[in-house]
Amino acid sequence: MFRFIVIGIVLILAYLLIKRFLFPSGRIDERRRDDRRIKGEELVEDPHCHTYVPVNEAYRVSVNGKTLYFCSKECYKKFREKGGHIPD
């Protein structure tokens, strides 16, 4: 009986040492924290339909040296057809 207790304690200590060696303190938590972090992206407002679109997905048009962002090419065409003015 005493032998099983000693073997159990040795196995638990070996497990804890291996765990500490393979996963140092904080290493697991940092990965989990990074996965939960929301990665921000700049949003721009479409001047026609007032939808907010991520900059990298927006349809860009340069008018009089000012860049306008639209949610789609169709929305830009509707903006032009209505004679939309360029926001200040």
Domain range for residue 32? 2-36
Say how many domains are in the chain.
2
Token pair of 72 as six digits: 């789609």
| 86 lies in some domain | no
51 and 25, same domain (yes or no): no
Widest CA span in the chain: 91
For the stretch 65-74, pLDDT in tens is 889 999 999 9
| 61 lies in some domain | yes
Helices (H), 1-88: 2-22, 27-36, 73-81
69 and 49, same domain (yes or no): yes
59 and 77, same domain (yes or no): yes
For the stretch 24-51, pLDDT in tens is 665 545 555 555 555 668 899 999 999 9
Q: What pTM, to 2 d.p., does this model score? A: 0.51
CA 32 to chain centroid, in Å, comes to 14
